[in-house]
Amino acid sequence: MAESFSLKDQLFNAEKTRYLAGLFAGADPTFDAEAFVGQVMSRLLDLELKERMAWIAECLQRAVPGDLPDIAPTLLSALPPPLDPSKTDDDFGDFIFAPLGDWVVNVGLDHPDLALDVLENLTQRFSMEWAIRPFLNQHPDHVMARMELWCGHDSYHVRRLVSEGTRPRLPWGQAVGLKMTDPLPLLDKLHGDPTRYVTRSVANHLNDITKKNPELVLDRLQVWASAGQQRQDELRWMTSHTLRGLVKSGHPGAMKMLGYDPDARVTTDVQINGDARIGEALEFEVTLNGAGDQPVLVDYIIHFQRPGGKTSTKVHKLKQAALQDGALKLNKKHKLKGNATTFKLVPGAHRLEIQVNGRVRAGVDFDLLE
């Protein structure tokens, strides 16, 4: 049997640890690379991903003791060249530099000016979105003032840190005490950025806000559309990416902004073909009929049976299209994985629904068989 993929082992392992040790040995002749690698590897493989970051940071702190003013020269001298500034996306850097952000947090919270200088350099090797957040909590005005300057930084990695680091719901990130409106003046500057790496972060930031205040986001997108600071194709992409959560929930304002009429007169029929079995697929056919060539955004919703008699709902994209001569026919095979580790299928009564332009238009019950 093939071994399962382990992200933590790919990102943090003996080879990566030796690479990091070599960088510090090159910056400081007194750095004991062999001892550092031995200490890291004595526990590393027993830890989860975020724990590995913290452990490597702790080992660095032991190997290069002192507060941030003491260790900053060595840390900065150990860094490789910045990531390629000519790229515009998909250049995430090496995860092995993430622990350096933890290290800066451990020894630098009382030195915010120097810490922000160091994080500005580090984020050009790997994003410091997690490390910036403790500083936002302890020195909010200080960090926000620096971020205003970073909005015009030459490196798109630094510009992205402004948006990503202030996200309300950053995955794996410490919660921050900012109001949702506090970063908006910064996003106003960043939404016109020429790189997708930054605009994707801006859209993800706004998507976070939609969970609590959809109208705030819709209003902001409208302001940006009127400002004319971003290319129209990129602004359309940002708008769609921002509103993806609202689209799944059928928010009418989001539908209208994307050009879909929630009240469109479209009749919908759905038919399941054959049995649905765990390990196979749910096959179904959807037929839409309406006037003209109106645009439609079609999702399908599956209400899954859960252990203990509960149910859970998952929304999936089906098609963004337009009726052709008043009609559209769609077919789908939804895989029913029986060995998924994150979502275990339970046999029994289920339901499939079809959502068009944010409104559920048709549904059918079915039994999921073993």
Residues 220 and 271 in one domain: no
| pLDDT band (50, 70, 90) for residue 85 | confident
pLDDT at 357 over 60: yes
- Choosing from 208, 242, 276, the residue where a domain stops is 242
pLDDT in tens, 24-46: 999 999 999 999 999 999 999 99
| pLDDT band (50, 70, 90) for residue 1 | very low
Residues 136 and 96 in one domain: yes
With respect to residue 362, please indicate whether it lies within any of the assigned structural domains.
yes
- The edge-to-edge listing of strands for the beta sheet with 348-356 is 276-277, 359-369, 348-356, 295-305, 311-322
Residues 349 and 231 in one domain: no
Residues 107 and 214 in one domain: yes
When pLDDT is averaged across residues 47-64 and rounded to a whole number, the result is: 97
Residue 357 and residue 296 in contact, taking contact as beta carbons nearer than 8 Å:
yes
* pLDDT for 24: 98
With respect to residue 22, please indicate whether it lies within any of the assigned structural domains.
no
With respect to residue 188, please indicate whether it lies within any of the assigned structural domains.
yes
* pLDDT for 5: 67
With respect to residue 45, please indicate whether it lies within any of the assigned structural domains.
no
| pLDDT band (50, 70, 90) for residue 181 | very high
Residues 207 and 336 in one domain: no
With respect to residue 40, please indicate whether it lies within any of the assigned structural domains.
no
Give the chain's mean pLDDT: 95
The DSSP string of 319-365 is EEEE-BTTEEEEEEEEE--SS-SSS----EEEEEEEEETTEEEEEEE
CA distance 172 to 49: 11
CA distance 112 to 94: 25
pTM of the model: 0.89
Mean pLDDT check: name the lowest of 5-14, 55-64, 259-268. 5-14
When pLDDT is averaged across residues 71-86 and rounded to a whole number, the result is: 96
Percentage of residues in the chain having pLDDT higher than 70: 99
pLDDT in tens, 279-311: 999 999 999 999 889 999 999 999 999 887 788
CA distance 87 to 31: 34
Domain count for the chain, please give it. 2
Residues 301 and 228 in one domain: no
| pLDDT band (50, 70, 90) for residue 2 | very low
pLDDT in tens, 96-147: 999 999 999 999 999 999 999 999 999 999 999 999 999 999 999 999 999 9
* pLDDT for 8: 92
pLDDT in tens, 204-213: 999 999 999 9
With respect to residue 20, please indicate whether it lies within any of the assigned structural domains.
no
Residues 93 and 162 in one domain: yes
Residues 98 and 216 in one domain: yes
CATH number of the structural domain spanning residue 216? 1.25.40.290
* pLDDT for 341: 72
CATH number of the structural domain spanning residue 358? 2.60.40.10
Residues 218 and 302 in one domain: no
* pLDDT for 114: 98
* pLDDT for 344: 87
Residues 293 and 208 in one domain: no
With respect to residue 349, please indicate whether it lies within any of the assigned structural domains.
yes
Give residue for tokens 């046999």. 347
CA distance 303 to 300: 10
With respect to residue 359, please indicate whether it lies within any of the assigned structural domains.
yes
pLDDT at 19 over 90: yes
* pLDDT for 4: 59
- Choosing from 242, 276, 302, the residue where a domain stops is 242
* pLDDT for 81: 96
Residues 82 and 230 in one domain: yes
Residues 87 and 235 in one domain: yes
Domain range for residue 126? 66-242
The DSSP string of 244-289 is HHHHHHT-HHHHHHTT--TT--EEEEEEE-S-EETTSEEEEEEEEE
Residue 130 and residue 172 in contact, taking contact as beta carbons nearer than 8 Å:
yes
